[in-house]
Amino acid sequence: MTEASTTVRRGRPRNEQAREAILDVAMESLLAHGVAAMNMDAVAAAAGVSKATIYRWWPSKETLAMDALYRTWESAPIAPDTGSLRDDLRNLLWPWTELIARRPYGRVIAGLLGQVVTDPDFALTYRARFLDQRRDHGRMILQQAIARGEIPARTRIETVLDMLYGPVYHRLMHGHAPLDHIFIDGVVDIVLDGIHPRPDRQPRHETADSETP
């Protein structure tokens, strides 16, 4: 095998090439058929590897599906600090939404959720990859805005994160309305107007219950 130091861009180690080929084929199969109908024999054949090779890295098709989806979603860029909360939140949501709106990712997530609700270990890994990491970015963006004095320190950050990601997941999973730019801008506008300090704010808002930490 060639030296990694000289071939890092032109030729990847064979293991790495096989992994990438498997993940590519798996993602196409998932988008076309969903997790339940994904066939490991077909993935192995299309990727040019043995089924034993796949099972050496992924103990189940759900774990392979999770890795394939993760690699795709992580390609959506995040630019965390423009100095404007509105721009930061749009940058957080839009590239990812644009990516998932193009293909039937809802089908893939639905299949993985079936495993999430029956397998607690899988659920932990799934949430760490698909929820926690994106929530961490969003939380950082909101905390920067608090530090700049752009939004109040009492802002319910966890609730706000659900109000940014929840509507996107809702349309992705249920398919009742389009995941377009107008929708994302509307979500960001309503959230921002909802948490900005307001001169006409009623006292009841000022004393709203704080979140559980």
Structure token digits, residue 129: 């990859």
Do residues 191 and 168 touch, judged by C-beta distance below 8 A?
no
- C-alpha dihedral sign at 75, 76, 79, 80: negative
- Between 48 and 175, CB nearer to its own copies: 175
- Between 80 and 166, CB nearer to its own copies: 166
Alpha carbons 3 and 164: distance in angstroms, whole number: 45
- Between 22 and 101, CB nearer to its own copies: 101
DSSP 36: T
Do residues 19 and 57 touch, judged by C-beta distance below 8 A?
yes
> Could you tell me the smallest distance in angstroms from the CB atom of residue 67 to its own copies?
19
Q: Is 175 left (phi over 0), alpha (psi -120 to 50) or beta?
A: left
Q: What is the binding site for its own copies (CB under 8 A)?
A: 34, 36-37, 104, 106-107, 110-111, 113-114, 116-118, 123, 127, 131-132, 135, 156, 158-160, 162-163, 165-171, 173-178, 182-183, 185-187, 189-196, 198-201, 205, 208-209, 211-212
> Could you tell me the smallest distance in angstroms from the CB atom of residue 111 to its own copies?
6
- Between 21 and 192, CB nearer to its own copies: 192
